[in-house]
Amino acid sequence: MNVRNFSIIAHVDHGKSTLADRILERLGAMGERDKRDQTLDTLELERERGITIKSTPIRLVYRRENGEEYVFNLIDTPGHVDFNYEVSRSLAACEGVLLLVDASQGVEAQTIVNAYLAIDNNLEIIPVINKIDLPAADPEGAAKELEEVIGIPADGAVFASGKSGIGIPEILEAVVERIPAPPGDPQAPLKALIFDSFYDAYQGVILLVRVLEGTLKPKDEIRLMNAGKNFEVDKVGTFSPALVVGDSLPAGAVGWVAAGIKDIHDAQVGDTLTGSDNPTTEPFPGFKPAQPVVFSGLYPTDTEDYRKLRDALEKLKLNDAAFSFEPETSEALGFGFRCGFLGLLHAEIIQERLEREYDLDLIATAPAVVYRVTLTNGEIFETQNPAEFPTRDRITSVEEPYIKLSIMLPEDYVGPVMQLLQERRGSMITMNYMGKRVELLYEVPFGEILYDFHDRLKSISRGYASMDYEQIGYREGDLRKVDIMVNNEVIDALAVIVHETKTYSLGRKIVDKMAEVIPRQMFPVPVQAVIGAKIIARATVKAFRKDVLAKCYGGDISRKKKLLDKQKKGRARMKQFGTVEVPQEAFLAVLSTE
């Protein structure tokens, strides 16, 4: 059987899903895709947010005009920097990629990062200049940019539109002609790469694999090399795109395996699967265990919901090896959980699922990164919880995680963006001009981009700048803990870790925002930012609570009802401290854009 394994990579919104749908439709699999939605129980959120979270492969059959048949395994990849490791593993399962570039936007930060991931995996790259139906499209310009920036020859580009269907036949032919057939010997010792996994209530963990060598069959005794655990294969199969049970998966195949695995942490993305009797000598290189890097506290607004929250977190964790949680107690918020995520988007997705699918009302504390503190007694203490950050007299030094940040933008915005990066304590590595566009490479403390960085970047560049990043290790930094007091009491869950140069400005921003969002009381409520015993900023929630109904006396009842509903809804997300209610917004005051 002729096989081609490939993936589509692109910057967010350059039209990956639309093009994939068009290919599916052309190869007669559109109806099947809807079927999959019922069979596979795909994540509801994935569709709603328009962002691909899980890499779902689809097996398609392409018949050329001369009658030759090819099996296409189209492997989808998640389109966000939080999931870059998953993308790199999905690409490792392929021999080639379609690199999409929006003809009206040109090359963006993720175009470059994704192209390099493909190059690192030795993949054949077919450049596809997409959305050429748009009036603002400049297909030649975009192709030339790809050549200048990444060195992909412009004359190899296919011009296409996922919307109108232009270029689809050319893309299918290019896949056959230009992407190599998968190598591998079906008789060799088994070696397969896990590029995704999900949990099914009946089958246990389902592994999505690319078989590199050997043949995978039911009843095989298999070993997960990094996890160091053995299992017996129950079923194997392919995706049509619904899960279809098959006899075996030979070298070159992309498919799924069920082997009675109960814990998703035993089956991590990037691990190598081999035979326990006749194992391969070398696991597939580059395995990295999923590791959360951004942490936030999640607390039920209603303390009665604690168990419900714990059960929901356990369910989510079944399906997500990269998500972690452990119980934590806050003096202010009571019992909750400290949760770990791959990034801010991952955190948002989990919070939204908890609220929608599990009907929970949550207070989330501001996200934080992991700090490494050397204590005066020589001990090294790692913490991602500002509330636990040691007092200054106990600290010798603090280190914080850094990222290498790549930003693509039109040259007109370079000045203001460089200023933003400077505010965020960034230092420039290089700046590359590519025609009228510029790539800025910076080293920046990771913690500095957690707070409203992306929004600021978008707003000062009028939406034209795009970014991507990778972690590059720890550096020393002069960091302080700023506590927030409401009505003269410290609220531990509001503490933040800040660089020494920013304590005053951030303290001011937080107290001002809090004074704005805390409802008025019968008495004035002081809100203060403090370092140790020193007050660095102060604001006051003025007395007198405005009666929302006063505005519409005698007025129309539906409007009155609306206002009351609104007030009720607002109240659902509050925490009571003594007589003062603090709304969810206040906990994220540090995130707000000024």
State in angstroms the smallest separation of the CB of 162 from ligand GTP.
4
Virtual torsion, Cα 408, 413, 414, 420, nearest 10 deg: -90
User: 3-class DSSP state for residue 552?
Assistant: helix
Nearer to ligand GTP, 132 or 211 (CB): 132
Token digits of residue 185: 């010997």
Find out whether 131 is annotated in a ligand binding site. yes
State in angstroms the smallest separation of the CB of 92 from ligand GTP.
20
State in angstroms the smallest separation of the CB of 400 from ligand GTP.
30
CA nearest neighbour of 255 among 266, 267, 245: 245
CA nearest neighbour of 118 among 229, 9, 247: 9
Map the footprint of ligand GTP across residues 31-50, applying CB under 6 A: 50
Taking CB under 6 A as the rule, does residue 257 contact ligand GTP? no
E strand or H helix at 25: helix 16-26
Q: How many whole angstroms from its chain centre is CA 70?
A: 33
State in angstroms the smallest separation of the CB of 136 from ligand GTP.
10
Nearer to ligand GTP, 346 or 425 (CB): 346
Map the footprint of ligand GTP across residues 49-68, applying CB under 6 A: 50-52
| CA–CA distances in Å: residue 515 to residues 203, 226, 497, 511, 521 | 52, 51, 20, 6, 11
In the set 6, 7, 15, 85, which binds ligand GTP (CB under 6 A)? 15
Find out whether 214 is annotated in a ligand binding site. no
State in angstroms the smallest separation of the CB of 21 from ligand GTP.
8
State in angstroms the smallest separation of the CB of 89 from ligand GTP.
18
The C-alpha R_g of the chain, in whole angstroms, comes to: 26
Which residues are CB-neighbours of 186 under 8 A, at least 6 positions away? 214, 215, 250, 251
CA nearest neighbour of 341 among 82, 53, 592, 585: 82
Break the chain down into helix, strand, coil percent, rounded to 5. 30, 35, 35
CA nearest neighbour of 399 among 376, 357, 370, 368: 370
Nearer to ligand GTP, 161 or 503 (CB): 161
Nearer to ligand GTP, 161 or 365 (CB): 161
Which listed range, 128-136, 196-204, 375-383, 489-497, lies at the site for ligand GTP (CB under 6 A)? 128-136
Which listed range, 15-23, 224-232, 266-274, 547-555, lies at the site for ligand GTP (CB under 6 A)? 15-23
Find out whether 132 is annotated in a ligand binding site. yes
Map the footprint of ligand GTP across residues 208-237, applying CB under 6 A: none
Find out whether 429 is annotated in a ligand binding site. no
In the set 70, 75, 79, 408, which binds ligand GTP (CB under 6 A)? 79
Nearer to ligand GTP, 18 or 226 (CB): 18
Taking CB under 6 A as the rule, does residue 12 contact ligand GTP? yes
CA nearest neighbour of 121 among 90, 158, 151: 90
Residue 577's Cβ-side half-sphere holds a number of Cα atoms within 13 Å equal to: 23
* Mutual angle of helices 344-357 and 306-318, in 10-degree steps: 120
Map the footprint of ligand GTP across residues 146-175, applying CB under 6 A: 161-163
State in angstroms the smallest separation of the CB of 160 from ligand GTP.
7
Q: For residues 411 and 101, what is the distance between their CA atoms, to the nearest angstrom?
A: 20
Q: For residues 358 and 360, what is the distance between their CA atoms, to the nearest angstrom?
A: 6
Nearer to ligand GTP, 71 or 134 (CB): 134
Taking CB under 6 A as the rule, does residue 248 contact ligand GTP? no
Nearer to ligand GTP, 131 or 456 (CB): 131
Find out whether 18 is annotated in a ligand binding site. yes
State in angstroms the smallest separation of the CB of 11 from ligand GTP.
7
Taking CB under 6 A as the rule, does residue 134 contact ligand GTP? yes
State in angstroms the smallest separation of the CB of 17 from ligand GTP.
3
Q: What amino acid is encoded at 562 in this protein?
A: K
DSSP class per residue in 132-192: TTSTT--HHHHHHHHHHHH---GGGPEE--TTT-TTHHHHHHHHHHHSPPP---TTSPPEE
State in angstroms the smallest separation of the CB of 76 from ligand GTP.
9
In the set 25, 46, 124, 133, which binds ligand GTP (CB under 6 A)? 133
Taking CB under 6 A as the rule, does residue 345 contact ligand GTP? no
Task: Give backbone dihedrals phi and psi of 156, rounded to 5 degrees, phi first.
Answer: -90, 0
Find out whether 133 is annotated in a ligand binding site. yes
CA nearest neighbour of 219 among 259, 184, 159, 161: 259
Find out whether 266 is annotated in a ligand binding site. no
Binding-site residue positions for GTP: 13-18, 130-133
Which residues are known binding-site members? 13-18, 130-133
For binding to ligand GTP (CB under 6 A), which residues are involved?
10, 12-18, 50-52, 79, 130-131, 133-134, 161-163
